[in-house]
Every structure is written in structure tokens, then in C-alpha cells.
């Protein structure tokens, strides 16, 4: 089975093309839906941005000063319980109803989701020369990234914009971010998740972002849940936290600018600040984007780019 078969949105009319027959009915409610915002959401203003914690962008280390083994175990247990709850909610979620419930602007139902529109129209995406992004999995109920992937690959052909996507190496949280040039570079893994092969069609090793001569400007991450302070709950593999820790260390070593860390999520995945317990190994994100058309800058890096 090819990448196009498993990831049709890269060449299809869009993630919601199947809604064509209902679009006319939905348009009549668009204005009312546009007023819906996430609980606790507020406009991005200079006052709201005051006092952002600069320390959130520091390199994560494995130090556990002030946290003993029992506290770590308690956090892991709470995370396991939280993951189970969120997975159940995502499994029972009707993606179309969730999108419509949170609609905050007119959406072209024949093209792509609101979350991707926000990313694609943002200045920080347009200005970036390279990025890392996950390849979305419907089985994991991840927010679709097919439009973003297609746009980057199109820009790559026109302007040389680089895209690195994840490839899981083993069960020990080791993951590479490898450069691709087309969706045909992706093949299904044993978990039925699209990943890049280690070598290209010419037999050459793909460029690893850890060996790249320039830094990436943006990293788009998946996850099970996120809170408004930037804490992220992953799928319990530790792959992204491990990768980000290594990449942050590389950036510090080379004195590069830190990339913007952005997550795409459904509104039910966004929790109040402090809801997600973290360990010293967990890497916080800079901004949250949901289908509601709501972007939440969290760190100073995100604030500067969003402004």
C-alpha cells in the first residue's frame, strides 16, 4: 500500500471534502459558531503577554533535584490514568461535530481544517526555511497535517523549504527526523504510521536534522493532551521529549536560535494550566493551536513570533 493510499489528503481536495453535501446547511450557522471560543480564551494583547516565563525555553536536563523516586512514580501513574481518559474521549469524538462546535471563522469545507489554516497563514510558518512536523495518524486521533505537509513540499520544489518528519528507530525512545521531498518518500511502518525510509530512491542516506548545516525554525508536535502553561502529555513513548532534548542541546552547542514548538490539538485536549503533571524529562511547548481558530502563545519565543 502506498503513502498516497494511507495518507490521501496530500493529494485529495481536502480533509473535509466528504462534507460537500452538508456545506450549505452548515454555512447558515457559521456566524453563530464563529463566536465560540475555548473556555478561558482571551485575545493576545500586550497586557496578556506580560510576565511570560523565559525559563520555559531553557534546555531540558535529566536532573531530578527536589524530586525523589516516589514522586516520579506518582507522576507517571497520574499520567497513565490521564492518557486513558483522553484516549477514551478522543475515541468517542465525532471529528466533524467537534470542528463545527468550535468553529470561530468561516471554513472552506472542501479544503482543510481550521488548525492547518492558522498555521499556513501565520507569519512564523511563511517565514520559516525549514521545519519538523509529524505525519498525522487517524488511528491515533491526531489533528490532520496533510495540508501542511503538502504546502511545505510544494514550497520545497519552488523555494527549497525543508521538511523533516519522524522515523522511530527502536523501543527506547530513539527517533530521527529525516528530510523528505515528496509524499512518495513515506512508507507504512509496522504500526501503520507513515515514516520516511532511511535512504532515498537513489540509495542515498536521507538528511538527518541532527546533521543538518542549519537549524529548523519550527517543530509541529502531536500529543494526547496539553495545558495552557505549555505542558504536553505524549503517548508514553518519550520519543518527542527525547528528540527535543537532544536537539536543544545541539542548538545550545552551535549557538543557534531555538525553534518555535507548536502543537495541534482538538479543544477537548486542551486543559487548564497545571492540569498535566511533568517530570524534568518533559519538554514544554510554545503555543497551542486548535480547530476553534484559537492560538495560545505561552513562551516568550512564541510571543515574539506571533507579534
DSSP assignment of 132-153, as one string?
EE----TTTTPPP-HHHHHHHH
pLDDT averaged over the chain? Answer: 76
Do residues 104 and 34 lie in contact, with contact meaning Cβ atoms separated by under 8 Å?
yes
Gap between the Cα atoms of 23 and 136, Å rounded: 25
8 Å CB contact between 297 and 49: yes
**What would the pLDDT profile of 130-189 be if each residue is shown by its tens digit?**
999 999 998 888 889 999 999 999 987 778 899 999 999 988 889 999 999 999 999 998
Nearest to 101 by CA among 272, 290, 262: 290
Q: How many helices and strands in the chain, by DSSP H and E? A: 10, 12
Q: Give the tens place of pLDDT for each residue, 71-98.
A: 777 777 777 877 787 877 777 766 665 5
Q: What are the cell numbers at 40?
A: 478561558
In this prediction the pTM is 0.69
* CA trace torsion 59, 133, 304, 233 (10° rounding): -60
Mean pLDDT of 255-266: 93
The secondary structure of residue 229, as a DSSP letter, is: T
C-beta separation of 251 from 106 below 8 A: no
Which residues contact residue 213 at a Cβ distance below 8 angstroms, ignoring those fewer than 6 apart? none
The bridge status of strand 294-297 relative to strand 287-290 is: antiparallel
Residue (of 147, 186, 130) closest to 2 by Cα position: 186
In angstroms, the CA 123 to CA 20 distance is 30
Amino acid at each position: 500500500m502506498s503513502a498516497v493510499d494511507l495518507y490521501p489528503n496530500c493529494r485529495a481536495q481536502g480533509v473535509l471534502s466528504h462534507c460537500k453535501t452538508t456545506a450549505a446547511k452548515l454555512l447558515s450557522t457559521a456566524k453563530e459558531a464563529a463566536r465560540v471560543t475555548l473556555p478561558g480564551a482571551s485575545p493576545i494583547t500586550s497586557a496578556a503577554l506580560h510576565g511570560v516565563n523565559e525559563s520555559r525555553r531553557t534546555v531540558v536536563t535529566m536532573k531530578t533535584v527536589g524530586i525523589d523516586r516516589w514522586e516520579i512514580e506518582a507522576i507517571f501513574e497520574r499520567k497513565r490514568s490521564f492518557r486513558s481518559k483522553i484516549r477514551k474521549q478522543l475515541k468517542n469524538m465525532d471529528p466533524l461535530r467537534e470542528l463545527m462546535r468550535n468553529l470561530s471563522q468561516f471554513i472552506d469545507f472542501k479544503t482543510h481544517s481550521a488548525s492547518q489554516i492558522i498555521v499556513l497563514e501565520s507569519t512564523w510558518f511563511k517565514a520559516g526555511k525549514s521545519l519538523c512536523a509529524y505525519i498525522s495518524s487517524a488511528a491515533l486521533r491526531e489533528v490532520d497535517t496533510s495540508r501542511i505537509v503538502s504546502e511545505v513540499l510544494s514550497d520545497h520544489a519552488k523555494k527549497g523549504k525543508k521538511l523533516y518528519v519522524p522515523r522511530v528507530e527502536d523501543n527506547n525512545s530513539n527517533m530521527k527526523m529525516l528530510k523528505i521531498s515528496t509524499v512518495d518518500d513515506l512508507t507504512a511502518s509496522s504500526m501503520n504510521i507513515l515514516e520516511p525510509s532511511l535512504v532515498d530512491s537513489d540509495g542515498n542516506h536521507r538528511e538527518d536534522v541532527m546533521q543538518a548545516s542549519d537549524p529548523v525554525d519550527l517543530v509541529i508536535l502531536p500529543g494526547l493532551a496539553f495545558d495552557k502553561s505549555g505542558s504536553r502529555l505524549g503517548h508514553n513513548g518519550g520519543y518527542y521529549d527525547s528528540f527535543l532534548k537532544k536537539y536543544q542541546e545541539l542548538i545550545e552547542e552551535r549557538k543557534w536560535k531555538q525553534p518555535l514548538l507548536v502543537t495541534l490539538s482538538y479543544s477537548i485536549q486542551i486543559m487548564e494550566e497545571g492540569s498535566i503533571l511533568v517530570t524534568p524529562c518533559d519538554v514544554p511547548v510554545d503555543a497551542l493551536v486548535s480547530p476553534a481558530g484559537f492560538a495560545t502563545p505561552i513562551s516568550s519565543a512564541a510571543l515574539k513570533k506571533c507579534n
